């Protein structure tokens, strides 16, 4: 029985790319499949990104017969087997927004995905890249992987292409960061129009209503989706927030009080680390902002 990967789900059909020896057969057309009734009876819903077994029917279509084990599953967007979240933030136009970057990082830490921060539009930097290097050093020191790219010059594109090979990734981040331009650099001939795929956090012109995997070569796929679009913390408990700031963990375990909020308690080692410069002021300020936002929402709901 052939195996494949679901690259799109639309109107009750699943579009499946065949797998050959575990690798996506990129040159082959996707097979339009229905799901077997037994899957629905068992409450099993195939998702984009699922690896499946299927059978071909007489009319050239197929039937999804079995889902293979998932490595991961996202609720929003609904996609399976994503390994990497790529956060795109521009150096200029729009200016770097570290508050928004940290908010994305909280959600991705909570989802359990690997993270790659990509700083775009390096060609627009006005200070010989000093500010970019400071941001890069800050997040690398925390333990995040950071790349710097310029779609104008092409710098960083090959490194990013190699990083995305063989995995499913989801792109999210600031609006107007040049996602389509970057993807056109990664995949010559892709021909995406600038602005065709928006990163507007669920607002504005984004018209994608279903998740679809975009083949970027090398066995890599990017989920064409609004991404983590509603960053409202409703799925995250306030007691889980500090664990989403990964540099807090080694200090938090030594706090005087169990369940320390790291806001006002005496004997808080996180606050001590902030005061000593071991934790960046910007990260701690954003932590307090998010903490208070979550407390306010909890009171309202």
Whole-angstrom CA distances from 270 to 251, 257, 260, 289 are 5, 12, 9, 16
- Going by their DSSP bridges, the two strands 220-224 and 168-173 should be labelled as parallel
* Residue 234 or residue 113, greater confidence: 113
Residue with tokens 């229905």: 34
User: What pLDDT is stored for residue 298 in this prediction?
Assistant: 67
d(CA 105, CA 69): 27
User: What pLDDT is stored for residue 227 in this prediction?
Assistant: 47
On whether 32 is known to bind a ligand per the annotation, the reply is no
Highest mean pLDDT of the ranges 47-61, 126-140, 184-198: 47-61
Q: What percent of the chain has pLDDT over 90?
A: 47
- Classified by CATH at the fold level, domain 79-224 comes out as Rossmann fold (3.40.50)
**Lowest pLDDT segment from 66-70, 161-165, 201-205, 248-252:** 201-205
The mean of the pLDDT values for the chain is: 84
Q: Which residue spans of the chain are classified as CATH 1.10.40.50?
A: 238-300
On whether 225 is known to bind a ligand per the annotation, the reply is no
d(CA 230, CA 241): 17
User: What pLDDT is stored for residue 300 in this prediction?
Assistant: 66
Q: Which of 7, 280, 299 is nearest to 137 (CA)?
A: 280
User: What pLDDT is stored for residue 208 in this prediction?
Assistant: 44
**Residue 297 φ/ψ, nearest 5 degrees:** -65, -40
Under the banding of pLDDT at 50, 70 and 90, the label for residue 233 is low
d(CA 54, CA 36): 10
Under the banding of pLDDT at 50, 70 and 90, the label for residue 225 is low
HEC string of 240-294 equals HCHHHCHHHHHHHCCCCCCCCCCCCCCCCHHHHHHHHCCCCHHHHHHHHHHHHHH
On whether 60 is known to bind a ligand per the annotation, the reply is no
* Residue 160 or residue 299, greater confidence: 160
User: What pLDDT is stored for residue 271 in this prediction?
Assistant: 98
User: What pLDDT is stored for residue 206 in this prediction?
Assistant: 41
Range 194-227 burial, b when 16+ CB lie within 10 A, else e:
eeebbbebeeeebeeeebbbbebebebbbbbbbb
Residue with tokens 């690896």: 51
On whether 175 is known to bind a ligand per the annotation, the reply is yes
On whether 244 is known to bind a ligand per the annotation, the reply is no
On whether 4 is known to bind a ligand per the annotation, the reply is no
On whether 150 is known to bind a ligand per the annotation, the reply is no
d(CA 297, CA 231): 13
Q: Which residue spans of the chain are classified as CATH 3.40.50.300?
A: 79-224
Under the banding of pLDDT at 50, 70 and 90, the label for residue 204 is very low
User: What pLDDT is stored for residue 63 in this prediction?
Assistant: 93
On whether 268 is known to bind a ligand per the annotation, the reply is yes
CB of 102 closer than 8 Å to CB of 130: no
On whether 121 is known to bind a ligand per the annotation, the reply is yes
pLDDT tops 70 at residue 231: no
Domain 238-300 sits in CATH at 1.10.40.50
User: What pLDDT is stored for residue 194 in this prediction?
Assistant: 58
Under the banding of pLDDT at 50, 70 and 90, the label for residue 203 is very low
Domain 3-68 architecture: Beta Barrel (2.40)
- Give the residue-averaged pLDDT of 133-159: 91
On whether 156 is known to bind a ligand per the annotation, the reply is no
On whether 17 is known to bind a ligand per the annotation, the reply is no
User: What pLDDT is stored for residue 75 in this prediction?
Assistant: 75
Whole-angstrom CA distances from 22 to 11, 71, 146, 156, 297 are 28, 15, 29, 29, 45
On whether 103 is known to bind a ligand per the annotation, the reply is no
Under the banding of pLDDT at 50, 70 and 90, the label for residue 112 is confident
d(CA 6, CA 247): 37
On whether 210 is known to bind a ligand per the annotation, the reply is no
pLDDT in tens, 239-253: 999 999 999 999 999
Q: Which residue spans of the chain are classified as CATH 2.40.50.140?
A: 3-68
Burial class of 256 by CB neighbour count within 10 A (0 to 12, 13 to 18, 19+): exposed
């Amino acid at each position: 029985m052939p195996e494949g990967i679901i690259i799109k789900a639309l109107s009750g059909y699943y579009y499946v790319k065949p797998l050959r020896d575990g690798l996506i057969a990129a040159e082959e057309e996707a097979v339009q499949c229905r799901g077997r009734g037994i899957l629905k009876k068992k409450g099993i819903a195939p998702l984009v990104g699922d690896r499946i077994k299927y059978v071909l029917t007489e009319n050239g279509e197929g039937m999804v017969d079995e889902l293979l084990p998932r490595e991961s599953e996202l609720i929003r967007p609904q996609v399976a087997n994503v390994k990497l979240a790529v956060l795109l933030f521009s150096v200029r136009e729009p200016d770097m927004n570290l508050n928004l970057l940290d908010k994305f990082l909280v959600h991705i830490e909570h989802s359990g995905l690997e993270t790659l921060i990509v700083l775009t539009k390096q060609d627009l930097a006005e200070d010989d890249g000093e500010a970019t290097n400071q941001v890069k050093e800050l997040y690398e020191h925390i333990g995040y992987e950071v790349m710097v790219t310029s779609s104008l010059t092409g710098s960083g594109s090959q490194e990013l292409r190699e990083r995305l090979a063989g995995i499913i990734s989801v792109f999210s981040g600031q609006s107007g960061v040049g996602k389509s331009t970057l993807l056109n650099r990664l995949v010559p001939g892709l021909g995406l129009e600038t602005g065709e795929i928006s990163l507007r956090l669920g607002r504005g012109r984004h018209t994608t209503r279903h998740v679809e995997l975009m083949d970027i070569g090398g066995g890599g796929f990017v989920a064409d989706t609004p991404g983590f679009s509603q960053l409202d913390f409703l799925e995250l408990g306030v007691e889980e927030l500090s664990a989403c700031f990964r540099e807090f963990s080694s200090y938090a375990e030594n706090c005087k009080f169990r369940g320390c909020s790291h806001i006002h308690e005496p004997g808080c080692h996180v606050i001590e680390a902030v005061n000593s410069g071991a934790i960046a002021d910007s990260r701690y300020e954003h932590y307090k902002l998010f903490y208070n936002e979550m407390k306010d929402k909890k009171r309202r709901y």
